[in-house]
Homo-oligomer: A and B are copies of this chain.
Amino acid sequence: MIDIIAFDADDTLWHNETRFQATEAQFAALLAHYHPEDLTRARLFETEMRNLAHFGYGVKGFILSMIETAVELTEGEIRGADIRTIIDWGHEMLHAPVELLDGVAETIGELAGRHRLMLLTKGDLFDQESKLARSALGEHFSAVEIVSNKNAQTYRSIITKSGVDPARFLMVGNSLRSDILPALEAGARAVHIPYQTTWAHEHVDDAEIGGRAIEKLSSIRDLPAWLLGVRS
């Protein structure tokens, strides 16, 4: 039996990575008269990784990393109008409608009648709260935990706070690195629902999986049936 089902948000409940990738493509195009687009993307990723320890995850850090990369790659020649364009992309990303993944609205609504549901996401607090509000899913979650990083210690602490046996806590998410492996390490159960694309930073080698059996579903629509299997 499962007492609490915790859901990751970005790329598990709603589209996120595709939006970042679309902005990256615009960014590479903006600098195309300075550098080949592949080089611009690679340098942006380097800047993002260097800044992750200072900025954390989220749109604001991403925009700052784009501006920083633009200044570097143009040796300071970037025009103010282009900086303005990058900032405007940030505002657009922060305001874009939240697009739920296929099956999310129905499945979350159905499961909320039978389980305690938790939203458990990393990222920028303000941005995640705003997305949750725009998603119209808020009423289904009895707890919302927004954390700066998801490691085994994060899961242990949240499970302890929730007062349930780790074996009765299920984590559902698209990222092996952030949702599945650390939840399993903390003694919880986990179901992996891959998204259509994975951010390079979240990529996991087979060696890191270490031969563990990972429960995997291709759609959140399959989760209620999977839960019936756990019960029996």
Contact = CB atoms under 8 A, between A and B. Distances in A.
Interface of A: 54-57, 60-61, 63-64, 67-68, 70-71, 74-81, 83-84, 87, 90-91, 94-95, 124-127, 129, 146-148
B125 A56 contact: yes
Nearest to A129: B148
A147 B146 CA distance: 10
Copies of this chain, tallied across the complex: 2
Contacts of A55: 60, 94, 126
A200 to B, nearest CB: 20
Main secondary structure of the interface of A (DSSP, over half): helix
Contacts of A148: 125-126, 129
A76 B76 contact: no
B126 A56 contact: yes
Given A76-B81, A80-B74, A83-B78, A95 B126 contact: no
Given A76-B80, A76-B84, 12 more contacts: A55-B60, A55-B126, A68-B84, A71-B83, A71-B84, A71-B87, A76-B81, A124-B124, A124-B125, A125-B125, A125-B147, A125-B148
